[in-house]
Amino acid sequence: MKLFNQIRQPMICGLALGVILLASPAIATDTTNAPPKSDRLTTCPISRYQLGEMGDPYVFVYQGQEVKLCCPNCRKDFDKDPAQYLKKIRAADAKAKN
């Protein structure tokens, strides 16, 4: 039993450290402190519904780009092919600047 406790204690400490590191905000967030690029689309790039039509838009930051979706359910579609939707967002931003 004594040997079992000696083996188990380092395992538990290692597991706790792993959980702390994974939950650390410094790892999970962008540390550049640069403000995200704004999303100028007025419609959801996935469903094409007008933003605000179904309540407040679902807003998050993906790789330094603000993304606005009509609802949280569209996030799983965004995550399947983010490049496709980021292209639409950035095209709207370029159009708004011109």
Condensed to tens digits (0 to 9), the pLDDT of residues 59-80 reads: 999 999 999 999 999 999 999 9
Domain count along the chain = 1
pTM reported for the whole predicted model: 0.64
Domain that holds residue 41: 2-28+36-97
Of 15, 83, 10, 77, which Cα lies nearest the Cα of 44? 77
pLDDT reported for residue 20: 45
**Strands (E) located in the chain:** 58-62, 65-69
Condensed to tens digits (0 to 9), the pLDDT of residues 45-60 reads: 999 999 998 899 999 9
Neighbours of 52 (CB within 10 A): 11
